Amino acid sequence: MGLVPPCFITEIVERDLREGHYPRLLTRFPPEPNGYLHIGHARSIVLNFGLALDYGGECNLRYDDTNPETEKEEYARAIEEDVRWLGFTPDRVLYASDYFETMYRCALVLIQEGKAYVDDLSEEEMSELRAQGKPSPYRDRSVEENLELFERMRQGEFPTGSRVLRAKIQPDHPNFKLRDPVLYRIVHAPHYHAGNRWVIYPMYDYAHPLEDFIEGVTHSLCTLEFENNRAVYDWVIENLKGKCGLPLSPRPYQYEFARLDLTYTVLSKRKLIRLVEGGYVSGWDDPRLPTLRALRRRGVRPEAIREFVRRTGISRHEARIEMELFEEVVRDDLNPIAPRVLGVLEPLRVVLTNYQGEEWLEAPYWPRDIGKEGARPLPFSQELYIERSDFSLNPPKGWKRLAPGQRVRLRHAYVIELEDVVEEGGEVKLLKARMVPGTLGANPEDGIKPKGVIHWVSARHALPVEYRLYNRLFLTQDPEEGGDFLKNLNPLALEVKKGFVEPSVAQDPPETRYQLERLGYFWQDPGDSRPGRLVMNRIVPLKEGYRPQ
C-alpha cells in the first residue's frame, strides 16, 4: 500500500510518468521558516515525500525563505527535525534564498524584454488602481530607466517599501493576480540565511515558480488558496524558460489540493504564534497545540499522523475534519503496541480489614484479542488506591462500581466488598473493605458475581505520578466562532492530577506507551518526567462515549 492514497494527483503523476513527460518524479515540501510545522503541514509532507517514495522519485525540503523579517534559523532547524521525525528523509535540503542571484538575473531579462517595470506608487495607491483595473502612471518607463532604477533598488539607494518591480501583464485582467503582480520589493533587513547581501527580496508569486524550475521539480503541489496564483506561476515560467540557465523543457506544473483543517484547534502559524507568544500555552511543544512537536511530546507516533493523512485523503474538497477521527486513528495506532497497566488518577484509599502482608500477582499485559504474550508482577497489599469516581455512597441505578452492599472485582486480583466509610468534613477519606477469599482468578461460574471490574494500585508499592490530561484546546468546533479565537480557548485544556501508577513501569524504557486500563493511553512526558518524579501525559482518552463499566 502506498503512502499517498489514490487521488487526482496520483492520477496526474501516473499519467505524466507513463507518457514520459519527465525522466523522473521530483517533488518538494516548501515551508517558509516563519513558525513551527503543524498537523496541517503533515498532509503536504506526506503527499510530497510520499509521492516520491511511491513512484521512485525524489523530494526536496526547500525553505521558501524570501521574507527576511519573519524568518529564523531556529524555525528552519525545527522544520527539518519535524520532517525527519515524521519519517521522511529529504533528498536535498535547499534554500530559496540561495537562488537570489539567479532570480535577480531573471528579473533583468524581464525588464530588458519590456515585461517588467519599476513602480513608485505607494501600496494604497497601487491597490486602488489595481481594484479599478487602471494602469500605473509608471508603467511605460523605458527599459533603460527601469534597468537603472532596479539596479539602484538593489544598491540600497531607496528606503524600504518605496518602490517595487512589477510584471507588465495586464492592468485590467479578470484574474486579479495577473494585474501586473509585484515581483520585487525593498526591505532593508538582514536575512537569516542570505545575510546582508540583499535589500530587494522576490515575492512568492515570482520566486516560487523559479525555485521549482531551478531545482527541476516536476509537480508543484500547493493548497487551494493559490489556485488563482497558478496563472502567474505559468507566466513566470513561460517567459523565462530557456533563459538565465533555465531549461526550455520540461517545466514544472502547479496543482492545488484542499488544506487540512481540524475541529477544536487552529492550524495557522500566525495564530499559533499568538498562542505561544501570548503565554496561553507553555511553548511550541505544549501538548495542547496541534504542532508536530507538541503531538510528539504528547506521545502521538508519526505512524498515526501518516495514517491520519492517508485516511483523510487528498482532494479539492475543503472540509474541516473532526478531531474525533484523529483521536480514533491515534487509538488504533496505540492499541496493538501499548501494554495494559494499572494507574489511578484521583486516588481514594481503601484498607482491607481481613488481609495482611503482600503478594505479587502475575498480570498479563495484553487482552486476549491483541494476541500477544507477556505479563508483569503486580503487587497486592492491605492498602490500596482506587479511583475516587469508582465509589459512590448513593449510587444511581445500574451502578457497576463500588458502593455500600455492592461487590466489585479488582482487575487481575480479588473481589472486595465494602465494610465502612470514613468521612471527614463531608468528604470520603477512606474506605474499609473486605477481600472475598478464594476469588483470585475465579471463574464466572463460582457464584461470586461482582457488579463490575475496577482498576487499583497497591498503596505500598505504587509510584506517585503527575498526570497531565489534555482536552480540546478550544470550546467550539470552529475557534473563530464569535470573532476572536482567544475568547474560545478551553480553560480546562490541561488538567493536572496527582495520582499513582503500578511499579512495573519503572523497569520499562521511558518511551513506552501504555494503556492505563479504563483511563486512556499514556506515556512519560519527555520534557519533565524523571525516574523519581514521574510525569505522564495522556496521549488520548479511550473511546468517545466510553464509560467505565
Annotation says 32 is catalytic: yes
Shortest CA distance to 189 belongs to which of 96, 66, 79?
A: 66
Q: State the residue number with the nearest CB to Mg ion.
A: 32
Q: In this structure, what DSSP letter does residue 368 have?
A: G
DSSP state string for 345-362: SSEEEEEETT--SEEEEE
Nearer to ligand ATP, 261 or 466 (CB): 261
Q: Is 191 in the site for ligand ATP (CB under 6 A)?
A: no
Residue 296 contacts which entry, Mg ion, ligand ATP, none (Cβ below 5-8 A, type-dependent): none
Nearer to ligand ATP, 267 or 463 (CB): 267
DSSP state string for 215-249: HT-SEEEEEGGGTTTHHHHHHHHHHHTTSTT--SS
Q: Which three cell numbers stand for residue 349?
A: 484509599
CB of 426 vs ligand ATP, minimal distance in Å? 50
- x/- binding map, residues 13-52, to ligand ATP, per CB under 6 A? -----------------xxx-------xx-xx--------
Sign of the C-alpha dihedral computed for residues 507, 508, 511 and 514 taken in this order: negative
Residue 409 contacts which entry, ligand ATP, Mg ion, none (Cβ below 5-8 A, type-dependent): none
Residue 287 contacts which entry, Mg ion, ligand ATP, none (Cβ below 5-8 A, type-dependent): none
The footprint of Mg ion on residues 15-54 (CB under 5 A) is 32
Residue 306 contacts which entry, ligand ATP, Mg ion, none (Cβ below 5-8 A, type-dependent): none
Q: Distance between CA atoms of 272 and 494, rounded to whole angstroms?
A: 17
Annotation says 269 is catalytic: yes
Q: In this structure, what DSSP letter does residue 169 have?
A: S
Nearer to ligand ATP, 280 or 399 (CB): 280
Q: Which residues sit opposite 549 in a β-bridge? A: none
Amino acid at 339: P
Check if the beta carbon of residue 258 is closer than 8 Å to that of residue 319: yes
Q: Distance between CA atoms of 292 and 82, rounded to whole angstroms?
A: 7
The footprint of ligand ATP on residues 192-231 (CB under 6 A) is 222-223
Q: Which residues are CB-neighbours of 510 under 8 A, at least 6 positions away?
A: 524, 526, 529
Shortest CA distance to 62 belongs to which of 214, 186, 188, 185?
A: 214
CB of 327 vs ligand ATP, minimal distance in Å? 18
Q: Which residues sit opposite 514 in a β-bridge? A: 522
Q: Which three cell numbers stand for residue 257?
A: 489540493
Q: Distance between CA atoms of 400 and 549, rounded to whole angstroms?
A: 6
CB of 31 vs ligand ATP, minimal distance in Å? 4
The count of residues interacting with ligand ATP (CB under 6 A) is 15
CB of 85 vs ligand ATP, minimal distance in Å? 16
Nearer to ligand ATP, 126 or 300 (CB): 300
Q: State the residue number with the nearest CB to ligand ATP.
A: 40
- Which candidate in 259, 271, 388, 400 is catalytic? 259
Residue numbers at the binding site for Mg ion (CB under 5 A): 32
Give the residue numbers marked as catalytic: 32, 259, 269
Residue numbers at the binding site for ligand ATP (CB under 6 A): 30-32, 40-41, 43-44, 222-223, 259-260, 267-270
